[in-house]
Chain A
């Protein structure tokens, strides 16, 4: 194992931690389909990045109480939901509703999906950095999180973005859509984290690995990944059949352009790639 005792290896570790989300950022930030969003993509990523430290600090205030819980299942559930998914998704929701959805570069409701994913990836980047730097085996942690935690943040971002797009189209403030925007990603995130934290607890008590609970938590972990992937696919299928979401938003159509003639003269909406809908 390479020790992080030199600047060179610390830079390598930082690169490994930031690489998965940064690769996605570069893809979205340079793709022609989202060229009108280029600045907002970087802002969304940066906001996700900035909100991560305050969220970690808030969660740290009540973490000692949660760590005192004796039952592995209860403690894992409390950590997964109270310490991780609820504050993290709340932070992302604040970023999305206070800034991203109000930005002038947002032309189509479908843009909200891309931007919410970027907020999640920004969050995942700093989370990854700290997990990698605090790990005893940083190479394994970086590789494992690149294929699990980072895609998870992206996937829950897709789900939050879907409801954000629906919220943009709601004629007035829609509390149910706003609630779904928070609850659906929180449930998916917590469902993913619960078995991870439970297995961590079992690994601390090594003899517990032989317990049937280990297989049970592994099963829940794979089920949560399958559920997240299916949710993302459901969003893509749903969005693909909704021209109101993929087309220009109302404020860029008649309302914004003033009259039909002006609307006709407006630039044609960009086509999203098929895999995004």
Chain B
């Protein structure tokens, strides 16, 4: 049986790496964007053993406007909570160590980094979540139940992230930060 040209174009995937279709299913909203990025990554590193022993970071620079413009809300919306927490706390800590750094561009630097790495961060997050589902749950139904909760986006978390960011920055700009006011 001859394979279709489309099949030939699909890069080989290591056993514990998700397929591009699985990743697209995980991303749910704007899935094609992340799927293309993942396929691009796989085609550049077509090592079938990739990730079998130690998974490398899936870092491949590609511009992503949502990650640049609304970094923290986007990370919370995409359920990347650890990253979101770090990016809320980082400018605050920097502002304490280097007063005024917020105005000197620490926020812009973080936004630029997120704009360049955003897609890769999300693909990395998705790959790790899918791998965790496979590792933690031996049967298909259990895995599907876990992924159903893990995949997609969370509007409430996105709104929460936006609120936290706006209020935190307002607090710093208005000088309401502790210890004066705690």
Contacts and interface: CB of A to CB of B under 8 A. Distances in A.
B156 interface: yes
Interface in B124-166: 129, 136-142, 144-150, 154, 156-157, 159-160, 163-164
B167 interface: yes
Given A54-B163, A258-B145, 18 more contacts: A36-B136, A49-B85, A51-B164, A53-B168, A53-B177, A56-B182, A60-B176, A98-B156, A99-B156, A104-B129, A104-B149, A130-B179, A131-B182, A256-B145, A257-B141, A258-B141, A266-B137, A266-B139
B177 A57 contact: yes
Nearest to A126: B178
Interface in A146-175: none
Given A54-B164, A57-B168, A47 B81 contact: yes
A178 B141 CA distance: 31
Given A57-B171, A257-B139, A46 B176 contact: no
Interface residues of A, number: 42
A251 interface: yes
Given A54-B168, A56-B182, A49 B89 contact: yes
Contacts of A103: 149
A156 to B, nearest CB: 18
Interface residues of B, number: 42
B54 interface: no
B27 interface: no
Given A53-B171, A98-B156, A42 B82 contact: yes
Interface in A52-89: 53-54, 56-61, 63
Contacts of B149: 102-104, 251
B9 interface: no
B141 A259 contact: yes
A44 to B, nearest CB: 9
Contacts of A94: 160
A39 B132 CA distance: 11
Interface in A124-140: 127, 130-131, 133-134
Interface of A: 36, 39, 42-43, 46-47, 49-51, 53-54, 56-61, 63, 94-95, 97-99, 102-104, 127, 130-131, 133-134, 251-252, 255-259, 262, 265-267
Nearest to A63: B181
B160 to A, nearest CB: 4
Given A57-B176, A102-B157, A134 B89 contact: no
A193 B145 CA distance: 43
B142 A262 contact: yes
B17 interface: no
Contacts of A131: 179, 182
A37 B92 CA distance: 27
Interface string B57-92: 000000000000000000010000110011011001
Contacts of A265: 138-139, 142
B170 interface: yes
B174 interface: yes
B7 to A, nearest CB: 31
17 contacts: A43-B82, A46-B82, A51-B164, A53-B171, A57-B167, A57-B170, A57-B171, A57-B174, A60-B180, A99-B154, A102-B157, A104-B149, A127-B182, A252-B142, A258-B141, A259-B141, A265-B139
Contact of A50 (B88, B137, B148): B88
- Residue from A53, A58, A61 with most neighbouring chain B CB atoms (10 Å): A53
Interface in B3-43: none
Contacts of A255: 145
Contacts of B154: 98-99, 102
